[in-house]
Chains A and B, each alone.
Chain A
């Protein structure tokens, strides 16, 4: 059985979608989520982000921003990103609203890791299936997102390659840490 992966960032736009794109191209079974209250995209200034609800399609956001200021959003890469996203799936998904089960959940920020853990904690326990929640910090910009997606993908492939993930995960993560010099947070939870 292939492993089921999830990647969670805050708005399900940049980091998680980049990883989603990357990992699914490498043949991994992956879904992506956001954990924030709303979807936030950069706006004309730091104080004025574009805010959408999670059920707004990428297509809609794309058109909306295109109409607002095509050159600005082309220049800062937001339109490009939305364009990529709308080819992957219809709209952002919120992790807390999904009842999908996974073997591994990647998060890209400690805050999101906490949110995911708390959400899992508060769900009704049914099957006792184990899920690994792994946090690797990725900065929220296009370059780091690509880098992060690459790392997550590599990690995912390694996991996929093992026979018994529960047993091997410690080793994989330790090796990963040594190689990339990044700190990894790892916890397990149960469905």
Chain B
């Protein structure tokens, strides 16, 4: 009652007083009271309100129209009562009234259609109402063809509604009624009409007379149609193509660009909804025609899952706020739908479709469950309850149910692979899945993992997307409000490691490397897995390459990776060690890694100083398996040195610290060092300045090392002048060790060598041999000067000339016998030369006769030459040198019977002496004389034959006395 009094009052005021805006205010108030506060009053006051339609003011008329619109939405049956007013107002003089009416007709027509489709009984009245409706409709449609631009825009919206609603309505109709047709609405006819309407719009777009505003409105209308009726897409693309060509002839520049811009935006928007790839190329060309860039096309293409990005992101950003907002929206939607009394299930369907992306993107137990719950509840209760309250419809679900439902839905998404693929929404599915997995706890994760691992080759990209998603969450990129939330990478780390572990175990090498190289962050645990990967002999090569690319491309973890790689250089497995060394060597060539690698190498080197191998040298497995060794073994020494040695050949300066280390280590290590030094040092080359420096600064105790290094170098080639000088310097000033000179023998002058010869031959026998070998091998070297050449004969002569003060005889003998043993060098010719020179010396060297004897034993054919020598000795009165004389006699003995003629040339005293010493000679000599011819016999001086014959009697005592001496 209170309301009705108030309404009467307001209506009176609106009728009588005030200007337009106050009256409109009053009428609005009435509308509020009747339609929202007490709908039962509607019947009572409808006539009064409708009477305002004849008011003069267009504003009042417009208010009445909106009143009718709202009333019809609440109760479609009212159309029967208001249809006359509508017809009247449609033909009003004022264009704004007409506009408003047409706009309102959009919803009135819709609600009437829905009502008619469901009403069971159609009486005459209804039929006539429908006829009038149809008239109104026809009138509005005809506006398109009229010349009146002003109403066109709204007419377009009306036609768009027709094109979209008739089919929608038709679906409701078939759902809600058993019959296909009812008395007014015929399915086929409606379908037909819908097509006509669409055609009309399309035709309209291409007509020439329309304004740019109307064109834009029409473009919007057809795009909306295309969005919901995909059959039209290709048709509409054609239309746009024509527009593209014709536009500029009909409009001025800025209008053209506005229209083009609109079409571009609409096309991009449509792109989201067009899953079919058949028209893709046509689409892209068209978009390009309208000025869309490739980036824009990509952004909107369904394949890149950018669909309704705004929605997704905003939902994520402000999840909580959005949730409530969206829920409110849903509530509003439903409220409105109830008022319209549209067919409920269909709307719910639509709602559900609209909600789907949202539901799946903002997954949260509660929202997921409540919204489903809410939808199902609301659909049940729609018909009974008029005033709908969300809170009444919501009941909390059991936790188990929530769990089950969410799992079920997740499984459904998982199983929809084929379907989604076929419809071009695979990307969306992937996105939904990864989001779900990221947001939910362990349960989803395991399922998802199993799902991916079931067919890793096909699904590894899911794993990658998942990992990236976790990264994004961990970084907090998707939250606005928790910007300060601490970054937490545990989950990310966990997943990365599990994936890596799996690829490792199941031998997917390519996936392993792809994952680790493309992971946004490589955690320590992941590095640890990589380490194990590298330590596996099957993968070590592959693993090292991964490490290498990580070192080069990932600056943040570069140090860690490099360190890891360096640690591998002393791995227990030699092939792994070599692999890592290869990689290190290639990295070492790059400036940025050089220093750290070298530092590490030197650190390893310095481990050798410690009493026992440090733990760091052993890999983790080893530490577990065996107790670290207490002493150095060859293997552990090798490990310390391997990296260092591999670097020396390219970085010569590294050689310097070696000498210091060398001094400090014990002899086993020294031995190993010398052993393995050869190859790298050889690679350094003899010309290295660093080597020279090392020689120059050689610390005490490292001579062996230096000698060894030099030795390695000089085995094949002549040492450089610098080195020779340095070594000589070292030898003379600091270390009088002759061994130092051996490697540089080939660089020393002839005099130097000969002067040092006494010292050389004091060395152990093998070394002497080596020295001789080197001295003599100089011959072949073309680089040595002629004057520096030491011929074998010269060497032997030099040996003979060594005085006994300098050297013991025995040493010299040993040295000469080394020469004799070198048959290939000391041929008979050379010996002849040597002997000839020696015999001319005065005094004759002590060893001379020994040498003669040796020569004879090696080369018996030389006997004639030796006879010459003996003859020469006689002429030089060899008996004056006791040792030579002794040798002479021995020689005569050895060279029987050739020596007999020589003996005969001896002066009698000497001959007597000889014969006294050896009886064998005398017998031989006697025989020799007897066998001579008488002529020869007579040539023997008588003094000598007397000696022979005299002595032949008492030969025994003499020989006895001699042998006892």
Q: Does A187 contact B (CB under 8 A)?
A: yes
* Segment 167-181 of A: residues with Cβ below 8 Å from B: 167, 169-170, 173-174, 177
CA A164 to CA B103, docked complex, whole Å: 16
CA A174 to CA B256, docked complex, whole Å: 12
Q: Does A144 contact B (CB under 8 A)?
A: no
Are A185 and B150 interface neighbours, CB within 8 A?
no
Are B262 and A187 interface neighbours, CB within 8 A?
yes
Collect the chain B residues with CB atoms within 8 Å of residue A188's CB.
153, 213, 216-217, 220
Are A122 and B150 interface neighbours, CB within 8 A?
no
Are B333 and A185 interface neighbours, CB within 8 A?
no
Chain B, interface size category, equals: 35 or more
Are B333 and A124 interface neighbours, CB within 8 A?
yes
Chain B window 860-904, contacts with chain A (Cβ cutoff 8 Å), 1 for yes, 0 for no: 000000000000000000000000000000000000000000000
Q: Which of B277-285, B308-316, B936-944 contacts A (4 or more CB under 8 A)?
A: B308-316
Are B220 and A173 interface neighbours, CB within 8 A?
no
Chain A, interface size category, equals: 20 to 34
Q: Does B607 contact A (CB under 8 A)?
A: no
Q: Which of A26-34, A62-70, A74-82, A125-133 contacts B (4 or more CB under 8 A)?
A: A125-133
Query: Which of A1, A122, A183, A188 has the most chain B CB atoms closer than 10 A to its own CB?
Result: A188
Are A174 and B254 interface neighbours, CB within 8 A?
yes
Q: Does A90 contact B (CB under 8 A)?
A: no
Query: Which of A114, A169, A170 has the most chain B CB atoms closer than 10 A to its own CB?
Result: A170
CA A113 to CA B161, docked complex, whole Å: 26
Collect the chain A residues with CB atoms within 8 Å of residue B308's CB.
122
Collect the chain B residues with CB atoms within 8 Å of residue A119's CB.
310
Are A127 and B103 interface neighbours, CB within 8 A?
yes
Q: Which of B153, B217, B253, B258 contacts A186 (CB 8 A)?
A: B258
Q: Does B554 contact A (CB under 8 A)?
A: no
Are A190 and B220 interface neighbours, CB within 8 A?
yes
CA A187 to CA B269, docked complex, whole Å: 15
Which residue from chain B places its CB closest to the CB of A127 in the assembled complex? B103
B467 to chain A, nearest CB (A): 26
Q: Does A143 contact B (CB under 8 A)?
A: no
Given contacts A164-B95, A166-B150, contact A187 B106 (CB under 8 A): no
Which residue from chain A places its CB closest to the CB of B100 in the assembled complex? A129
Given contacts A185-B261, A187-B261, A188-B153, contact A128 B213 (CB under 8 A): no
Q: Does A88 contact B (CB under 8 A)?
A: no
Collect the chain A residues with CB atoms within 8 Å of residue B217's CB.
130, 188, 190
A45 to chain B, nearest CB (A): 21
CA A169 to CA B309, docked complex, whole Å: 33
Collect the chain A residues with CB atoms within 8 Å of residue B161's CB.
128
Collect the chain A residues with CB atoms within 8 Å of residue B95's CB.
164
Q: Which of B255, B257, B311, B480 contacts A170 (CB 8 A)?
A: B255
CA A187 to CA B256, docked complex, whole Å: 11
CA A113 to CA B265, docked complex, whole Å: 11
Given contacts A114-B265, A121-B265, contact A166 B157 (CB under 8 A): no
Chain A window 90-114, contacts with chain B (Cβ cutoff 8 Å), 1 for yes, 0 for no: 0000001000000000000000011
A53 to chain B, nearest CB (A): 7
Are A174 and B252 interface neighbours, CB within 8 A?
yes
Which residue from chain B places its CB closest to the CB of A54 in the assembled complex? B480
Q: Which of A1, A113, A121, A185 contacts B59 (CB 8 A)?
A: A1
Collect the chain A residues with CB atoms within 8 Å of residue B310's CB.
96, 118-119, 122
B609 to chain A, nearest CB (A): 51
Q: Does A184 contact B (CB under 8 A)?
A: yes
Q: Does B827 contact A (CB under 8 A)?
A: no
Are B220 and A189 interface neighbours, CB within 8 A?
yes
Q: Which of A53, A121, A177 contacts B254 (CB 8 A)?
A: A177
CA A114 to CA B59, docked complex, whole Å: 34
Q: Does B945 contact A (CB under 8 A)?
A: no
Q: Which of B150, B153, B216, B252 contacts A187 (CB 8 A)?
A: B216
CA A184 to CA B216, docked complex, whole Å: 15
Are B216 and A128 interface neighbours, CB within 8 A?
no
CA A113 to CA B312, docked complex, whole Å: 21
Q: Does B212 contact A (CB under 8 A)?
A: yes
B202 to chain A, nearest CB (A): 19
Given contacts A114-B265, A190-B157, A190-B220, contact A170 B211 (CB under 8 A): yes
CA A30 to CA B59, docked complex, whole Å: 22
Are B314 and A118 interface neighbours, CB within 8 A?
no
Collect the chain A residues with CB atoms within 8 Å of residue B257's CB.
183, 185
Collect the chain A residues with CB atoms within 8 Å of residue B157's CB.
128, 190
Are A130 and B150 interface neighbours, CB within 8 A?
no
A145 to chain B, nearest CB (A): 22
Q: Does B450 contact A (CB under 8 A)?
A: no
Are B212 and A170 interface neighbours, CB within 8 A?
yes
Q: Does B709 contact A (CB under 8 A)?
A: no
Q: Which of A113, A129, A164 contacts B150 (CB 8 A)?
A: A164
CA A184 to CA B106, docked complex, whole Å: 31
Are B150 and A167 interface neighbours, CB within 8 A?
yes
CA A167 to CA B161, docked complex, whole Å: 22
CA A114 to CA B300, docked complex, whole Å: 13
B478 to chain A, nearest CB (A): 12
Chain B window 287-312, contacts with chain A (Cβ cutoff 8 Å), 1 for yes, 0 for no: 00000000000000000000010110
B157 to chain A, nearest CB (A): 5
Q: Does B45 contact A (CB under 8 A)?
A: no
Q: Which of A53, A121, A167 contacts B269 (CB 8 A)?
A: A121
Which residue from chain B places its CB closest to the CB of A125 in the assembled complex? B224
Q: Does A117 contact B (CB under 8 A)?
A: yes
A101 to chain B, nearest CB (A): 13
CA A117 to CA B579, docked complex, whole Å: 60
Collect the chain B residues with CB atoms within 8 Å of residue A170's CB.
211-213, 255
A69 to chain B, nearest CB (A): 22
CA A34 to CA B773, docked complex, whole Å: 95
Q: Does B154 contact A (CB under 8 A)?
A: yes
Chain B window 200-215, contacts with chain A (Cβ cutoff 8 Å), 1 for yes, 0 for no: 0000000000011100
CA A56 to CA B683, docked complex, whole Å: 71
Q: Which of B154, B213, B265, B333 contacts A118 (CB 8 A)?
A: B265
CA A130 to CA B106, docked complex, whole Å: 13
Query: Which of B99, B106, B258, B265 has the most chain A CB atoms closer than 10 A to its own CB?
Result: B258
Given contacts A53-B480, A118-B269, contact A129 B254 (CB under 8 A): no
CA A128 to CA B100, docked complex, whole Å: 10
Q: Which of A121, A129, A164, A186 contacts B255 (CB 8 A)?
A: A186
CA A117 to CA B261, docked complex, whole Å: 10
Are B212 and A122 interface neighbours, CB within 8 A?
no
Q: Does B729 contact A (CB under 8 A)?
A: no
CA A190 to CA B265, docked complex, whole Å: 15
Query: Which of A114, A128, A132 has the most chain B CB atoms closer than 10 A to its own CB?
Result: A128
Given contacts A118-B310, A129-B103, A186-B258, contact A164 B96 (CB under 8 A): yes
CA A122 to CA B253, docked complex, whole Å: 28
Collect the chain B residues with CB atoms within 8 Å of residue A190's CB.
157, 217, 220
Are A183 and B106 interface neighbours, CB within 8 A?
no
B519 to chain A, nearest CB (A): 28
Chain B window 225-269, contacts with chain A (Cβ cutoff 8 Å), 1 for yes, 0 for no: 000000000000000000000000000111101100110010001
Q: Does B149 contact A (CB under 8 A)?
A: yes
Which residue from chain A places its CB closest to the CB of B321 in the assembled complex? A97
B516 to chain A, nearest CB (A): 32
Q: List 16 A-B contacts (CB under 8 A).
A: A53-B480, A117-B262, A118-B269, A121-B269, A122-B311, A127-B103, A128-B157, A129-B103, A164-B96, A166-B150, A170-B213, A174-B252, A186-B254, A187-B261, A187-B262, A190-B220
User: Which residues on A are within 8 Å of B, measured CB to CB?
Assistant: 1, 53, 96, 113-114, 117-119, 121-122, 124, 127-130, 132, 164, 166-167, 169-170, 173-174, 177, 183-190
A118-B265, A122-B308, A185-B258 are known; give 8 further A-B pairs, CB within 8 A: A114-B265, A119-B310, A128-B106, A130-B154, A164-B96, A186-B213, A187-B261, A188-B153
4 nearest A-B residue pairs (beta carbon): A186-B258, A128-B157, A187-B262, A188-B216
User: Which residues on B are within 8 Å of A, measured CB to CB?
Assistant: 59, 95-96, 99, 103, 106, 149-150, 153-154, 157, 161, 211-213, 216-217, 220, 252-255, 257-258, 261-262, 265, 269, 308, 310-311, 314, 329, 333, 480
